[in-house]
């Protein structure tokens, strides 16, 4: 299949691909999405095929503003509008009861649907012009790190989709925060670009799904089906080292070997000369770490490193999302440095 590379002024060409049942990679503030008409079961099936995504892993619907919620969702609680008012367009996905017109393939057969209004101006224009909700998972091959540039999307999907809209590098760098509003108290299913502290500012206490910070035991099901898969994984195995930055750097120095690749905070890059090392940004700059984490994980795949050690931020602000992405890349293989 020929893949067209579209420039931001080609909104109409992008909207045409969506309207005609095709697959278009779209830029968002979080990560690139692989979009198709979310009401068209055939188009949605193509998303699963192009990514190699398990059928039971539901997609979220992207809409241009909160007035579209009632087209696709039932029993919408007032909290949904309060959140939309404060955080949309932006990196927040809400799980709500779905209406029957949302196809089963889109929701993986669930009676709920994830709704998100992304803030990238080009994608908002495409959504308005296409006039349909766009189902879009992250635009990576299933299991690989998410794509934060159009070049990442090319690596994964060139030749298998109709187009890539190049909207530049993603400003946030980790996927949206997912909150389930169909349960009381509301539950965080995936930490992401909107910090938990800001959600709680509007909602009060939010429960945190166990899959966010740890490995589920056998038989346990996460509420976001996607959280059960090994994910974001570079080809070499990853070990995450938690603890204060100085301690985790020292731990890695003491345990690394000849083929070790390192993900570290900027301040510690000098300690790892002679190794393939990718910096996450300064130890206290969690927003920069979010922007860099997927690119750092992808960079090892072109090298001959045999294992990867990663420093990990604490949970404040975007740290919770960065920690989750690193630990998932590691299959929750974690050591604690004192």
Q: How many Cα atoms occupy the beta-carbon half-sphere of 221 within 13 Å?
A: 5
Q: Interface with Mg ion includes 138 (CB under 5 A)?
A: yes
Q: Is 58 in the site for ligand TXA (CB under 6 A)?
A: yes
* Cα 88 off chain centre by: 17
Near ligand TXA by CB under 6 A, which window of 77-85, 135-143, 247-255, 257-265?
A: 135-143
Asked whether position 225 contacts ligand TXA by CB under 6 A, the answer is: yes
Sign of the C-alpha dihedral computed for residues 48, 51, 55 and 61 taken in this order? negative
Binding segment toward Mg ion, per CB under 5 A, in 97-105, 110-118, 137-145, 310-318: 137-145
138 secondary structure, DSSP code: B
Helix (H) or strand (E) holding 329: helix 319-329
170-209 residues in contact with ligand TXA (CB under 6 A) are: 175-176, 178, 189
Per CB under 6 A, the segment of 8-16, 26-34, 67-75, 252-260 that binds ligand TXA is 26-34
Are the C-beta atoms of residues 262 and 272 closer than 8 Å to each other?
yes
Q: Is 183 helix (H, G, I), strand (E, B) or coil?
A: coil
Asked if 95 touches ligand TXA (CB under 6 A), the answer is: yes
- Interactions with ligand TXA, residue window 28-57 (CB under 6 A): 28, 30-31, 33, 57
In the structure encoding, which two tokens stand for residue 44, read together? Answer: 């949605």
Contact 25, 163 (CB under 8 A): yes
- Shortest Å, Cβ 19 to ligand TXA: 19
- Tell whether residue 27 is a contact of ligand TXA (CB under 6 A): no
260 contributes a contact to ligand TXA by CB under 6 A:
no
| Beta carbons within 10 angstroms of residue 242's beta carbon | 20
CB atoms near residue 336 (< 10 Å): 12
Work out whether 123 is an interface residue with Mg ion (CB under 5 A): no
Q: Which is nearer to ligand TXA, 58 or 103 (CB)?
A: 58
SS3 287: helix
Q: Which residues bind to ligand TXA, rule: CB under 6 A?
A: 28, 30-31, 33, 57-60, 93, 95, 107, 110, 112-114, 116, 118, 136-138, 175-176, 178, 189, 223-227
């Amino acid at each position: 299949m020929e893949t067209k590379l579209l420039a931001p002024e080609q909104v109409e060409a992008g909207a045409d691909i969506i309207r005609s049942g095709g697959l278009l990679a779209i830029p968002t503030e979080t990560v690139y999405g692989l979009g198709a008409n979310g009401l068209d079961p055939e188009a949605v099936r193509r998303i699963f095929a192009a990514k190699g995504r398990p059928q039971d892993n539901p997609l979220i619907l992207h809409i241009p503003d909160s007035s579209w919620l009632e087209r696709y969702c039932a029993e919408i609680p007032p909290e949904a509008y309060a959140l939309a008012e404060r955080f949309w367009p932006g990196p927040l996905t809400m799980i709500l009861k779905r209406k029957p017109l949302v196809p089963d393939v889109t929701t993986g057969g669930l009676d709920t649907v994830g709704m998100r209004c992304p803030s990238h101006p080009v994608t908002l224009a495409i959504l308005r012009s296409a006039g349909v909700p766009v189902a879009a998972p992250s635009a990576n091959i299933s299991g690989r790190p998410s794509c934060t540039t159009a070049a990442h999307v090319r690596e994964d999907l060139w030749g298998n989709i109709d187009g890539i809209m190049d909207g530049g590098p993603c400003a946030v760098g980790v996927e949206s925060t997912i909150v389930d509003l169909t349960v009381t108290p509301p539950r965080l299913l995936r930490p992401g670009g909107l910090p938990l502290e800001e959600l709680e500012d509007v909602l009060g206490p939010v429960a945190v799904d166990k899959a966010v910070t740890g490995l589920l035991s056998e038989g346990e099901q996460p509420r976001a089906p996607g959280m059960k898969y090994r994910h974001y994984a570079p080809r070499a195995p990853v070990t995450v080292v938690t603890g204060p930055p100085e301690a985790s750097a020292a731990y890695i120095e003491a345990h690394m070997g000849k083929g070790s690749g390192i993900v570290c905070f900027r301040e510690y890059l000098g300690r790892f000369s002679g190794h393939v090392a990718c910096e996450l940004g300064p130890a206290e700059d969690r927003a920069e770490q979010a922007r860099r984490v997927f690119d750092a994980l992808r960079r090892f795949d072109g090298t001959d490193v045999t294992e990867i050690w990663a420093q990990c931020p604490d949970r404040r602000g975007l740290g919770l999302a960065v920690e989750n992405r690193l630990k998932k890349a590691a299959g929750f293989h974690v050591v604690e440095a004192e």
